[in-house]
């Protein structure tokens, strides 16, 4: 797990976005991090220490002058016994204190006393975010080495006002934490990788399209995992609702032909992992105008034509990457079909999974795969898509090393 063994001191200050901190705690712990919460008095107006403590499975620290808390840990140890201090949400007020070195409660004292990296996820009304004082404080904090994630643009929970000020989504904060704490080995440093992910949308007319249920979760996770091992990654993504992974160059496309062009434009590369659920067919002659429903008339026939096979194109390309990995989403004869695909598509490895509806894999967060390589097959147990991605990235690094040299 990306954050296993990492200790995060999470400071929650008072804003409506504090409700998102509950999910943030879950997400951090899912990845193996230990989360120790500190709450300001304001934060406790929005979420209860009981909920925060239950999710964190730790004591919630709230008071600077609490004999119990001080005996237990002490604010200096609280500030130092962690790998990262995360402030989420960070109010304008807490940032102002930080920028000026004020320490009049536990949160601000810990922030002044820490020698650990500090990551701040601001959340406030857009007018407060753009206020001259906040601008000055943010500049000062950046100059002091404080890192920021967000805020994002969007509607405010309480006022419905739109603008920049929303706290970054928990998963984006987690990605940022992972990047900051990332000090693991980099076996893919100096390597380039292309990953495809998500579905493609094949237009029928300007408003209708043919699509599939791919969420992009597995492909995006693989792009992030390769980047975490030091690779220079380009992700070519079809239309998805999940955010672009951090630390990766993402190219957004809609149609299979666009996806192919984007992939080819990034060659040469050392690694290609084609995860996208590319539509096999597109509408032969998509209409430039919306097709009208005519009363009494039969529905229009849809003539389909074959899409380019991107994996096959890459697998047989003059600038073929040294390691070409494909996926095989099957509902039957998973291994057999995977093996056939290996040869036909010119891949070195096929990650095969059973996407029968009862497995819940397509669109879900877990996966159970078989790795079909030229030298044999291995069965991986059921695990999260992030974990599949990490294991696959490590396997790719191993295989590249085994084949030696640079592509």
Asked whether position 327 contacts ligand C5P by CB under 6 A, the answer is yes
Burial class (CB in 10 A: 0-12, 13-18, 19+), 288: exposed
For 30, residues 6+ apart whose C-beta sits below 8 A from its C-beta are 1, 384
The token pair at 358 is 């009862």
Q: Which of 126, 198, 326, 338: binder of ligand C5P (CB under 6 A)?
A: 326
Please identify, using beta-carbon distances, which residue of 25 and 272 lies nearer to ligand C5P. Answer: 272
State in angstroms the smallest separation of the CB of 91 from ligand C5P: 45
x-or-dash string of contact with ligand C5P, 13-42, rule CB under 6 A? ------------------------------
Please identify, using beta-carbon distances, which residue of 172 and 202 lies nearer to ligand C5P. Answer: 202
Q: Residue length, the chain?
A: 407
Asked whether position 307 contacts ligand C5P by CB under 6 A, the answer is yes
Pure H helices in 206-255: 217-228
- Site residues for ligand C5P, 336-355, by CB under 6 A, read 341
- Over the Cα atoms of the chain, what is R_g? 25
State in angstroms the smallest separation of the CB of 310 from ligand C5P: 3
328: left (phi over 0), alpha (psi -120 to 50) or beta: beta
- Site residues for ligand C5P, 196-225, by CB under 6 A, read 196
The token pair at 122 is 């601001």
Please identify, using beta-carbon distances, which residue of 129 and 327 lies nearer to ligand C5P. Answer: 327
- Of the ranges 58-66, 148-156, 272-280, 384-392, which one interacts with ligand C5P (CB under 6 A)? 272-280
* Size of site (CB under 6 A) for ligand C5P: 15
Distance CA 119, CA 91 (A): 13
How does strand 369-373 pair with strand 376-379? Answer: antiparallel
Distance CA 6, CA 29 (A): 10
Please identify, using beta-carbon distances, which residue of 31 and 217 lies nearer to ligand C5P. Answer: 217
DSSP-derived letter for residue 290 is: P
CA neighbor of 94 nearest in space, from 11, 9, 8: 11
Q: Which of 78, 124, 278, 369: binder of ligand C5P (CB under 6 A)?
A: 278
State in angstroms the smallest separation of the CB of 275 from ligand C5P: 6
Q: Is 337 among the catalytic positions?
A: no
Q: Which of 283, 328, 372, 392: binder of ligand C5P (CB under 6 A)?
A: 328
Asked whether position 126 contacts ligand C5P by CB under 6 A, the answer is no
Please identify, using beta-carbon distances, which residue of 310 and 388 lies nearer to ligand C5P. Answer: 310
Asked whether position 274 contacts ligand C5P by CB under 6 A, the answer is yes
State in angstroms the smallest separation of the CB of 351 from ligand C5P: 8
CA neighbor of 255 nearest in space, from 322, 187, 200, 216: 200
The token pair at 352 is 């095969």
State in angstroms the smallest separation of the CB of 266 from ligand C5P: 14
Kindly name the residue from 137, 212, 307, 353 that is annotated as catalytic: 212
Distance CA 187, CA 231 (A): 8
Q: How many CB atoms lie within 10 A of CB 215?
A: 19
Backbone angles phi, psi at 134, to 5 degrees: -65, -40
Please identify, using beta-carbon distances, which residue of 95 and 223 lies nearer to ligand C5P. Answer: 223
Catalytic residue IDs: 212
Contacting positions for ligand C5P (CB under 6 A): 196, 256, 274-276, 278, 307-311, 326-328, 341
């Amino acid at each position: 797990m990306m954050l296993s063994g990492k200790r995060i001191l999470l400071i929650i200050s008072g804003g409506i976005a504090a409700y998102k901190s509950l999910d943030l705690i879950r997400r951090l712990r899912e990845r193996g991090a230990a989360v120790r919460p500190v709450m300001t008095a304001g934060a406790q107006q929005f979420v209860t220490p009981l909920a925060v403590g239950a999710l964190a499975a730790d004591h919630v620290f709230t008071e600077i002058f609490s004999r119990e808390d001080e005996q237990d840990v002490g604010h200096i140890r609280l500030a130092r016994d962690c790998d990262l201090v995360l402030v989420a949400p960070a109010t304008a007020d807490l940032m102002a204190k930080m920028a000026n070195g004020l320490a009049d409660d536990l949160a601000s004292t810990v922030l002044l006393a820490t020698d650990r990296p500090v990551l701040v996820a601001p959340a406030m009304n857009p007018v407060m975010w753009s206020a001259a004082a906040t601008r000055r404080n943010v500049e000062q904090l950046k100059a002091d080495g404080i890192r920021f994630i967000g805020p994002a643009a969007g509607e405010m929970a309480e006022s419905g006002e739109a603008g920049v000020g929303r706290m970054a989504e928990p998963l984006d904060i987690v990605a940022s934490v992972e990047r900051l704490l990332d000090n693991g080995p980099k076996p893919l440093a100096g390597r380039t990788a292309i990953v495809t992910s998500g579905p493609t949308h094949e237009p029928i007319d300007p408003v209708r399209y043919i699509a599939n249920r791919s969420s992009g979760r597995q492909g995006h996770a693989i792009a992030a995992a390769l980047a975490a091992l030091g690779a220079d990654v380009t992700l070519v993504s079809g239309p998805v609702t999940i955010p672009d992974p951090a630390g990766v160059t993402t190219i957004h496309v809609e149609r299979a032909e666009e996806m192919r062009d984007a992939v080819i434009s990034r060659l040469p590369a050392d690694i290609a992992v084609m995860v996208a659920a590319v539509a096999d067919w597109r509408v032969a002659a998509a209409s430039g105008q919306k097709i009208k429903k005519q009363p009494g008339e039969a529905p229009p026939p849809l003539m389909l034509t074959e899409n380019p096979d991107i994996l096959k194109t890459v697998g047989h390309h003059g600038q073929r990457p040294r390691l070409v990995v494909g996926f095989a989403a099957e509902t039957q004869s998973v291994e057999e079909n995977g093996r056939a695909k290996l040869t036909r598509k010119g891949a070195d490895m096929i990650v095969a999974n059973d996407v029968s509806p009862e497995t819940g894999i397509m669109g879900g967060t877990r996966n159970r795969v078989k790795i079909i390589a030229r030298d044999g097959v291995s069965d991986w147990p059921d695990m999260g898509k992030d974990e599949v991605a990490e294991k696959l990235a490590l396997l790719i690094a191993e295989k590249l090393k085994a084949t030696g040299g640079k592509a």
